Structure 1
Amino acid sequence: MSDSLHIVCPHCHTTNRVLGHQLGSAPDCGQCKRPLFTGHPVALDEAAFDKHIARNQIPVLVDFWAPWCGPCRMMAPAYEQAAAALEPQVRVAKVDTEAVPALGARFNIRSIPTLALFVGGREVARQAGALRTAADIVRWVQGHLPR
């Protein structure tokens, strides 16, 4: 993985070019100078979502959730742990379907939580319902990544 990859900053949403072999070296954003990978899910609004899905050249895992959803709140700590395990190979994000209902509608989200994995700007896998542990989330993602 020595080719350069486009990585969208989780803070300012600027697209950065990072050499593949430097992904694990805690690269910083060229614009805002903050870390490109934090080990935490990034909350996305509609504009940021579109940029992360279209411009990131690593897979993007999205949790569609809502604050009132019990299973969403139960899965949140495991999702947080999964983010630390999956980055920097996968960008981990969250979309609050109450705050950004247009994304829930656009992706036909019928139940929450719903995990969706995007590769190359396209959805490649979906999981409706909570996964119990970080290991379950990581295993699900790895099982759907291109080889």
Structure 2
Amino acid sequence: MRVVCPHCLAVNNVPAKESYKKANCGKCKGSLLDSKPASLRATTFDEAVVNSDIPVIVDFWAPWCGPCKMMAPTFEKVAEKFPLKMFFAKVNTETEQLLGARFGIRSIPTLIIFKGGKEVHRVSGALDERSLMSLASQFSS
């Protein structure tokens, strides 16, 4: 399966398994099991979303948004529980206004889940850990 490196955003081919002890990026050698959310920009967004065989959950946020700031640690914590099952990413709508417009982001935070490069689910508003875990579990590989 193709997965995107959370460190350098390179596309890697990884054998599909139930669990992994080790999986490193072929380009930067960083661990693919490090599921810290990646920051996407307009120049990297399509490549990361389209080239991922695992679902991608994108948090559209802004630095001035209180609920976004409150949900950020939860988003990172939940991301740790889905290595090579779901790719977690963030888009700062303040610096990436074209992406916000492209996806019709009207309120933040907004989470969009992509599968096969296509949007399959969207939810607006901050989620608590239990709700975010449930959402990610519903769509993860």
TM-score tier by shorter-chain length is over 0.9
CA shift for structure 1 position 77 = 1.1
Which residues of 2 match residues 98-117 of structure 1 at below 5 A?
A: 98-117=94-113
**Which residue number corresponds to residue 61 of structure 2?**
65
Superposition CA RMSD, Å = 1.6
1:72-91 deviation per Cα after TM superposition (whole angstroms, max 9, x unaligned): 00111111111011222000
TM-score using structure 1 length: 0.89
Deviant stretches of 4+, over 6 Å: none
**Which residue number corresponds to residue 89 of structure 2?**
93
Kept in 1: contact 2:61–2:93 (CA 8 A): yes
By percentage of residues, which structure has more helix? 1
Query: Secondary structure of the residue that 1:109 maps to in structure 2?
Result: coil
Kindly indicate whether residue 118 of structure 2 is the aligned counterpart of residue 138 of structure 1. Answer: no
Query: Secondary structure of the residue that 1:139 maps to in structure 2?
Result: helix
Kindly indicate whether residue 16 of structure 2 is the aligned counterpart of residue 17 of structure 1. Answer: no
Structure 2: where are the runs of 5+ without partners? none
**Which residue number corresponds to residue 8 of structure 1?**
4
Kindly indicate whether residue 113 of structure 2 is the aligned counterpart of residue 80 of structure 1. Answer: no
TM-score using structure 2 length: 0.93
Match of residue 25, structure 2, among 25, 29, 39: 29
The amino acid of 2:126's aligned partner reads A
Query: Secondary structure of the residue that 1:64 maps to in structure 2?
Result: strand
**Which residue number corresponds to residue 47 of structure 1?**
43
CA shift for structure 1 position 25 = 2.6
In 2, Cα distance between equivalents of 1:46 and 1:37: 25
Aligned residues: 141
In 2, Cα distance between equivalents of 1:30 and 1:80: 24
Query: Secondary structure of the residue that 1:21 maps to in structure 2?
Result: coil
Q: Kindly indicate whether structure 1 or structure 2 has the higher relative contact order, using CA contacts under 8 Å at least 6 residues apart.
A: 2
